[in-house]
Amino acid sequence: MVKGSITALVTPFTKDGLDEQAFQDHVEWQIASGTHGLVPCGTTGESATLTHEEHKRVIRLCVEAAAGRVPVIAGAGSNETRVSIEYAQVAKDCGADAALVVAPYYNKPSQEGIFQHFKAISDSVDIPIVVYNIPGRSVVDITNETMGRLAQLKHVIGCKDATGDIGRVQGLTDRCGADFIQLSGDDPTALAHFVHGGCGTISVGSNVAPKQYADFHNAMLAGDFVLARELNATLDRLHKDLFLDPSPGPAKYVLTLLGRMTEHVRLPMTPCGEETKAKVRSAMIRAGIDL
């Protein structure tokens, strides 16, 4: 079931805390628009700025709102293994379908340290695990060889790859098997990643254009790559312009225009600038969305 357009959900805030109603409304809109899966408490959800209690609360709110209609892959990453185990257990207890666990950041562990981190989580919590490899944020890269070892762990079912290296897809298939779920972590690589053997994307752009991204992924899932390329062309600027300023500032700005939440982000994140606002408005229009 883990495939297609999987939204890396933003976390709406008020001045004082979580905007729980806006968040659950956002989940409902995503599902009604055809989104195939949801990721609360990922990078786009500003997980690094959430308190432990907020992190747990957002997972619960997402699972509650999704009500089993689409898979929920709950962010359970931390650079402290015990915290990741705790978040994975919360995800399990709440009824999430899987946990998304990022490579430990800041610590710069060895490949053996990375393996032992995921092994400890897999040994501790009975929940499917999607390994998240994003060297640009975590500093460390999970090599294909290490991913092959991780694929042998009882609960590891796949990976989210945000390296941008399309050549890794076949290499991971060779090491991890054809059933190992491979998801792109970047909208701009979604089409190529799928062609090489991936099965979906954990997407930022689907926050603001869920139907359009779902249609794009449905075309790829159906094997219609002529249509998929056409749809990708309409979304190409959105893929990229949502990152002209640090994410999720641009996405939250668009969602403000759509009347779905406030633009509020937590420091050290800041709202996007005027030049970026103009470009993302243009990208939304190119994607076929009236603002």
How deeply is 120 buried, as exposed, middle or buried, from its count of CB atoms within 10 A (0-12, 13-18, 19+)? middle
On whether the CB atoms of residues 33 and 211 are closer than 8 A, the answer is yes
How far is residue 165's CA from residue 163's CA, in Å, rounded to a whole number? 5
Host H or E run for residue 152: none
Annotated catalytic, 105?
A: no
How deeply is 104 buried, as exposed, middle or buried, from its count of CB atoms within 10 A (0-12, 13-18, 19+)? buried
Q: 3-class DSSP state for residue 278?
A: helix
Nearest to 55 by CA among 39, 73, 72, 75: 75
Torsion sign (Cα): 189, 279, 255, 220? negative
Query: What was the pLDDT predicted at 79?
Result: 95
Query: What was the pLDDT predicted at 291?
Result: 84
Query: What was the pLDDT predicted at 16?
Result: 87
Tens digits of pLDDT across the chain (291 residues): 899 999 999 999 998 899 999 999 999 999 999 999 999 999 999 999 999 999 999 999 999 999 999 999 999 999 999 999 999 999 999 999 999 999 999 999 999 999 999 999 999 999 999 999 999 999 999 999 999 999 999 999 999 999 999 999 999 999 999 999 999 999 999 999 999 999 999 999 999 999 999 999 999 999 999 999 999 999 999 999 999 999 999 999 999 999 999 999 999 999 999 999 999 999 999 999 988
Q: Which of 56, 92, 132, 213 is catalytic?
A: 132
Amino acid found at 160: K
Token representation of residue 161: 């790859």
Query: What was the pLDDT predicted at 25?
Result: 98
Sheet with 4-8, side-by-side order of all strands? 37-39, 4-8, 200-203, 181-184, 156-161, 129-133, 98-102, 73-75
> For 192, what's the count of Cα atoms within 13 Å in the CB-facing half-sphere?
13
Amino acid found at 70: V
Query: What was the pLDDT predicted at 69?
Result: 98
On whether the CB atoms of residues 166 and 193 are closer than 8 A, the answer is yes
Query: What was the pLDDT predicted at 1?
Result: 85
Residue labelled with tokens 């991936």: 198
pTM > 0.85: yes or no: yes
Amino acid found at 72: V
How far is residue 247's CA from residue 173's CA, in Å, rounded to a whole number? 30
On whether the CB atoms of residues 96 and 64 are closer than 8 A, the answer is no
Give the DSSP letter string of 158-185.
EEEE-S--TTHHHHHHHHH-TTSEEEES
Q: Which of 92, 119, 160, 277 is catalytic?
A: 160
